[in-house]
């Protein structure tokens, strides 16, 4: 059955008349059934760490829409929590972490090898999903890329320009690189365990890669991704990996070859025509409908969906949004998008 899964066909380089499709954050607050399950869990982190409920919200968009892939419900900041950082979520504002400010904080982080005790329930969620997902649906595991995770750890929250991380990089590069190294080690172990539990594809989210330029992009976006992929491929050579260096611009060009990724996900700051010309030439691409269309809908949603399918139609393509679906999205617009893709 694995050979018949459309996502795996695309990741193996096959061009398909109808591209497979899933959405980033497809299990989320735009769905009433998700909101009901989250209320049952009590809070976001409790939902992440409850295998039965986390599996349930992962399955909800599959039942409703029949996406070609399900992505594990978790959060990229569970890795720093497993390393010893304090993590909590503020309603309406997002995550907060104990702030990593310098070399003294390195000693407060535990060994990468110790993360599995904290994250064992995530692996159990993967186990449940391998049993409960439809046989034709691909299961995607994921983690945040080291740079993006570090930006949250250093600032203690999301920031518009990742300024605190850039400041630490400039003022104490040894500590900054030691932190990235620690995150990279933990991420390799975390993703390998997800694969052992049943994840068929891995995705690396480098949501803030766009704030790295020139040499820093090569050092802190490309190099850690390459290291993670090489380690995973050594142990799991048949597991495809999708890399998402969001807003990388020209950095998307050659990213697959530089890192070993099987697919590069594109955000909607680049056009699909540009992506086909400069990125799809190296293999599978994923993307890249603007998330706003899930809110506004209408003919523009249909037209841009069809434009993306056409632009990427001559090579391997996984249809997705250019970023995650937002809580104010209309669930009906998701079906409109799927109908436009699948005819």
Q: What is the DSSP string of 75-140?
A: -TTHHHHHHT--EEEETTTEEEE----SHHHHTTSPPGGGHHHHHHHHHHHHHHHHHHS-TTPEEE
Question: Is 123 annotated in the active site?
Answer: no
| CATH classification at residue 97 | 3.20.20.210
Rounded alpha-carbon distances, angstroms, from residue 35 to 29, 44, 318: 6, 10, 27
Question: Is 64 annotated in the active site?
Answer: no
Question: Is 131 annotated in the active site?
Answer: no
Give the total residue count for the chain.
343
157: nearest Cα among 209, 96, 206: 96
Measured distance CA(194)–CA(209) in Å, rounded: 24
Question: Is 75 annotated in the active site?
Answer: yes
Question: Is 152 annotated in the active site?
Answer: yes
Both tokens assigned to 280:
């799809």
pLDDT tens digit string along 272-322? 999 999 999 999 999 999 999 999 999 999 999 999 999 999 999 999 999
Residues 230 and 200: beta-carbon distance below 8 Å: no
Per the residue annotation, which of 29, 35, 64, 292 is the catalytic one?
29
Residues 318 and 19: beta-carbon distance below 8 Å: yes
Task: Return the half-sphere exposure (C-beta side, CA atoms, 13 A cut-off) of residue 83.
Answer: 30
Q: How many helices (H) and strands (E) does the chain have?
A: 17, 9
Per the residue annotation, which of 35, 38, 64, 292 is the catalytic one?
38
Measured distance CA(317)–CA(264) in Å, rounded: 10
Per the residue annotation, which of 30, 49, 75, 206 is the catalytic one?
75
Per the residue annotation, which of 30, 34, 65, 152 is the catalytic one?
152
Both tokens assigned to 318:
């996984």
Per the residue annotation, which of 25, 30, 123, 246 is the catalytic one?
25
Q: How many domains does the chain have?
A: 1
Beta bridge partners of 30: none
- Whole domain around residue 22: which residue ranges? 2-342
Both tokens assigned to 161:
């320009």
Q: Name the percent of the chain lying above pLDDT 90.
A: 97
**pLDDT tens digits in sequence order for the chain, 343 residues long:** 455 899 999 999 999 999 999 999 999 999 999 999 999 999 999 999 999 999 999 999 999 999 999 999 999 999 999 999 999 999 888 999 999 999 999 999 999 999 999 999 999 999 999 999 999 999 999 999 999 999 999 999 999 999 999 999 999 999 999 999 999 999 999 999 999 999 999 999 999 999 999 999 999 999 999 999 999 999 999 999 999 999 999 999 999 999 999 999 999 999 999 999 999 999 999 999 999 999 999 999 999 999 999 999 999 999 999 999 999 999 999 999 999 999 8
Instruction: Give the torsion through C-alpha atoms of 1, 27, 116, 197, to 10 deg.
Output: -10
Measured distance CA(299)–CA(317) in Å, rounded: 23
Task: Supply φ then ψ for residue 149, to 5 degrees.
Answer: -60, -40
């Amino acid at each position: 059955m694995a050979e018949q899964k459309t996502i795996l066909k695309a990741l193996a380089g096959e061009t398909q008349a109808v591209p497979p499709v899933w959405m980033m954050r497809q299990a989320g607050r735009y769905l009433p059934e998700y909101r009901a399950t989250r209320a049952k869990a009590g809070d976001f982190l409790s939902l992440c760490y409850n295998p039965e409920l986390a599996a349930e919200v992962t399955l909800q968009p599959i039942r409703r829409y029949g996406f070609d892939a399900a992505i594990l419900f978790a959060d990229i900041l569970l890795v720093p929590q497993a390393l010893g950082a304090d993590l909590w979520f503020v309603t309406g504002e997002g995550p907060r972490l104990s702030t990593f400010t310098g070399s003294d904080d390195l000693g407060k982080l535990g060994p990468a090898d110790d993360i599995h005790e904290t994250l064992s329930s995530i692996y159990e969620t993967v186990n449940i999903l391998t049993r409960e997902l439809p046989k034709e649906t691909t299961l995607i595991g994921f983690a945040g890329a080291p740079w993006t995770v570090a930006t949250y750890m250093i600032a203690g929250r999301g920031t518009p320009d990742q300024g605190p991380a850039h400041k630490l990089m400039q003022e104490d590069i040894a500590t900054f690189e030691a932190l990235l190294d620690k995150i990279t080690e933990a991420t390799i172990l975390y993703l390998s365990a997800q694969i052992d539990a049943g994840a068929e594809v891995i995705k690396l989210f480098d949501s803030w890669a766009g704030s790295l330029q020139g040499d820093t992009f090569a050092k802190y976006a490309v190099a850690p991704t390459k290291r993670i992929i090489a380690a995973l491929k050594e142990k799991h050579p048949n597991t495809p990996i999708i890399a998402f260096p969001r807003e990388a611009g020209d950095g998307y060009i050659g990213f697959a070859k530089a890192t070993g990724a099987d697919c590069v996900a594109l955000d909607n700051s680049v056009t699909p025509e540009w992506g086909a010309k400069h990125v799809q030439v190296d293999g599978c691409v994923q993307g890249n409908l603007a998330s706003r269309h899930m809110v506004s809908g209408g003919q523009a949603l249909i037209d841009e969906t069809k434009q993306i399918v056409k632009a990427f139609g001559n090579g391997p393509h996984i249809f997705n949004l250019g970023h995650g679906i937002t809580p104010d999205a209309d669930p009906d617009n998701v079906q409109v998008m799927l109908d436009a893709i699948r005819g």
